[in-house]
Amino acid sequence: MTKDLNDAQKEVVLTKDGPILVVAGAGTGKTNTLVHKLAHLVKTGTNPESILLLTFTRRAAKEMLGRASGILDQRMMSVKGGTFHSFCQLFLRRYGHSASVFPNFTILDEEDRNDFVGMARDQVVTPNTKLRFPKKETLAEIFSTSFNLQLSLEKLIQKEYPMFLGQTKEIQEIKTKFIESKRKHNALDFDDLLDVTRMILMSDENIREKMASIYQYILVDEYQDTNRIQAHIACLLASKHQNILVVGDDAQCIYGFRGANVRNMLDFPKIFPNTKIIQLTENYRSVQPILNVANAVLENSQENYKKNLFSKKTNSIDKPFLVKLENLEEEADYISSLFLDLNENGNSFSEMAALFRAGYSSHLLEMQLTAKKIPYRKYGGKRFLDLAHVKDTIAYLKVIENPKDILSWNRILLLEDHIGKKYANLFYKQLETNQFDLETDPQFFLGIPEATKLSFLRLLECLQGCRLGNQTSGQILEHILTHYLPILTSHYDDAEKRKPDLDALLYLSQKETNLTEFLSQLILNPVEGKEIGSDDDRESEFVTLSTIHSAKGLEWKFVVNMQIVEGVLPNHRIKTVEELEEERRLFYVAITRAKQSLYFTYPLVNEKNRYTSVSRFISDLPNEGELLTKISFTQNQNVSKEENVRKNDGGNDPFQSIQNYFLN
């Protein structure tokens, strides 16, 4: 059963009892090892019903048990496998009474949860409330993030939603009413499933012993992605027998924003002092030159499990390429041309990917791929032109270009305060009467509330200002943004995260000075790039565009990591060493997606026409010249650069040990 495994993988499979931490580097076959571990346990006499496999998706558990059945037999399907949430809901159906939860409780999906929050909000925020208040969806996100990060509401609001600091007391009151409403209606959301399960396991020793007798072996996949609550639950389940195996890669812990805590991996041996640590370091995905860069990046990490990935693959000796380009437009052109050349040399588009830190980074590349008729799909964020705030902004441009565009008029009118559907319809009718002349008609405003009139006048002043003189599309857009940015802030609770998309739109507008041509180029971009070139037998082929977060767990033959500059990767928002280390791990994940060829591209000028510098994750490598092949496509090699400021400031009783760790 273990003949196809390497020595480290065999050690994982053959070690039966006690706590085991498997540090599985990227591409080292951790899933295959876990599958063989499951099969070996059952083959050597373990009752399959006494094994609990916890994963992050139902599909992952089903796939692993199916593969284990192929190795052994159908007994493997009796293993209890599933997500933390699915385990917790079954647990609470049986033991929830210990926390006054009735077995027939309702599980709230995201929409139901938001509606419960909305009802609580309505009890606190009255129509007479003058201050702007977060929407129900934002409040629900605040409550969930506070729970998963184990941060107080006040600290979270201060960090992520400072515009609502003045409403902290009211937000806390809404949370209290939200909790009371769920309890009254015997309803639990996803966070409650974890929270109540943990509470029962902490407080009821009889139930812990019962769980230990039912599940004698606990196996946890992707342990680096667990939050504190999930890790606590897993350890509590194993507190009696300590037969717990967790597998993951601390260097791939990249979901800190949703609660994943790298300390769960790093501190596991502190919770279970007799932990056996086994490292998987033979990589079956990438060639050695790629792994050399990945290893070097991790060497600069503040704290991790030191490991050195190696590969026996010899199908390429090319070092990864570091490509310097003049600006964002040149970068997009280079990447799209590279994909085209690779395809013409016999490589499938499906073997290629461009990865980026933030969704807005790919906007120019999307346009270039479309122009070159290269099919693509984008993951990790909506397509640029489908973003609500981008559609808002383009609607203003459309109205300036074509005052008869009723859909665009309707969109921008309803963005204004005090203008509802009634007055929007009346205004459009008077525009028709006046042959779509934007000059103010005094008769129209008779009988209209003063606040509504002022909103109309402000909008018309903006639009009229855009039609003065012979302005370029960029100048028109700048004028619109002075009017729209306050609207963006008032309409979207995450306005700051949306502003880079508008910077990208402004950058695009400067490439096509004529407004008609600019709009045409934008709108002719098809709904999805995958439709381009699908009139032949290659319609199943497409280049992948993806955020690095969405690319985790995937792999491609050719990978381009784009915009590897300070302020993007690492992100300009980082304030702590911990945040910087997560950015480093994100870069490591991006590197280890490549199987054969890897490219890093960085433009000298960003979307705000400011000079950039290559990411510290590359410039800080002590042997950068030995690891990378450098290519430059810049016109002026001696251009002076503004260096971005770096923000790198940066017991013997197992149950009691677990409690001490997680609660102190």
Domains in the chain: ranges and CATH: 7-93+193-282 (3.40.50.300), 108-175 (no CATH), 321-375+540-632 (3.40.50.300), 386-524 (1.10.486.10)
CA 445 – CA 362 distance, rounded (Å): 45
CA 456 – CA 448 distance, rounded (Å): 10
* Pair of tokens at residue 374: 């290269």
Q: Determine whether the annotation assigns residue 294 to a binding site.
A: no
Q: Determine whether the annotation assigns residue 26 to a binding site.
A: yes
Nearest to 463 by CA among 386, 554, 401: 401
Q: How confident is the model at residue 531 (pLDDT cuts 50, 70, 90)?
A: very low
Q: How confident is the model at residue 446 (pLDDT cuts 50, 70, 90)?
A: confident
pLDDT computed for residue 520 by the predictor: 73
The answer to whether residues 291 and 297 touch, using CB atoms and an 8 Å cutoff, is: no
Q: Determine whether the annotation assigns residue 28 to a binding site.
A: yes
Over 50: is that where the pLDDT of 647 sits?
no
Q: How confident is the model at residue 438 (pLDDT cuts 50, 70, 90)?
A: confident
Burial of residue 652 (number of CB atoms within 10 Å: 0-12, 13-18, 19+): exposed
pLDDT computed for residue 316 by the predictor: 63
* Residue with the two structure tokens 């510098």: 613
Count of C-beta atoms within a 10 Å radius of residue 558:
21
Count of C-beta atoms within a 10 Å radius of residue 398:
20
Cα dihedral sign, 287-292-297-299: positive
Least confident of 268-272, 336-340, 394-398, 615-619: 394-398
pLDDT computed for residue 326 by the predictor: 93
Average pLDDT, rounded, for the chain: 87
Q: How far is CA 580 from CA 162, 284, 571, in A?
A: 22, 28, 8
Contacts (Cβ under 8 Å, ≥6 apart) of 189: 107, 108, 112, 113, 116, 144, 182
Coil, helix or strand at residue 541: coil
Over 80: is that where the pLDDT of 644 sits?
no
pLDDT computed for residue 524 by the predictor: 57
Phi-psi region of 222 (alpha: psi -120 to 50; beta: other; left: phi over 0): left
Least confident of 54-68, 298-312, 378-392: 378-392
Query: How are the residues of the chain apportioned to helix, strand and coil, as percentages rounded to the nearest 5?
Result: 55, 10, 35
Q: Determine whether the annotation assigns residue 24 to a binding site.
A: yes
Q: How confident is the model at residue 278 (pLDDT cuts 50, 70, 90)?
A: very high
pLDDT computed for residue 217 by the predictor: 97
Count of C-beta atoms within a 10 Å radius of residue 497:
14
**Omega within 30 of 0 (cis) for the link into 570:** yes
* Residue with the two structure tokens 């129209």: 444
Coil, helix or strand at residue 651: coil
Over 50: is that where the pLDDT of 643 sits?
no
The answer to whether residues 474 and 395 touch, using CB atoms and an 8 Å cutoff, is: no
Burial of residue 315 (number of CB atoms within 10 Å: 0-12, 13-18, 19+): exposed
pLDDT computed for residue 31 by the predictor: 93
DSSP at 643: P
The answer to whether residues 287 and 45 touch, using CB atoms and an 8 Å cutoff, is: no
- Region 415-437: what's the mean pLDDT? 83
What is the percent of the chain where pLDDT is above 70?
92
DSSP at 614: B
Over 90: is that where the pLDDT of 597 sits?
yes
Buried-state track 337-360, b at ≥16 Cβ within 10 A, e below 16: ebbbebbeeebebbbbbbbbbbbb
Nearest to 51 by CA among 66, 41, 40: 41
* Pair of tokens at residue 385: 């032109």
pLDDT computed for residue 529 by the predictor: 37
Burial of residue 194 (number of CB atoms within 10 Å: 0-12, 13-18, 19+): buried
pLDDT computed for residue 642 by the predictor: 37
pLDDT computed for residue 130 by the predictor: 58
* Pair of tokens at residue 221: 């996949």
Q: First-to-last CA distance in the chain? A: 43
Amino acid 598 reads L
CA 562 – CA 568 distance, rounded (Å): 10
Q: How confident is the model at residue 635 (pLDDT cuts 50, 70, 90)?
A: low
pLDDT computed for residue 9 by the predictor: 96
- Region 203-209: what's the mean pLDDT? 95
pLDDT computed for residue 87 by the predictor: 94
DSSP at 567: B
Tens-digit pLDDT profile for residues 500-529: 889 888 888 887 788 887 887 676 543 333
More confident residue, 534 or 238: 238
Strand partners, 599: 321, 560
Over 80: is that where the pLDDT of 55 sits?
yes
Over 90: is that where the pLDDT of 405 sits?
no
More confident residue, 637 or 163: 163
pLDDT computed for residue 425 by the predictor: 84
Nearest to 53 by CA among 28, 78, 16, 24: 78
- Region 156-176: what's the mean pLDDT? 92
Q: How far is CA 542 from CA 369, 383, 621, in A?
A: 11, 15, 34
Contacts (Cβ under 8 Å, ≥6 apart) of 241: 212, 216
Q: How far is CA 296 from CA 303, 322, 407, 629, in A?
A: 14, 15, 54, 15
Q: How confident is the model at residue 487 (pLDDT cuts 50, 70, 90)?
A: very high
- Region 85-112: what's the mean pLDDT? 90
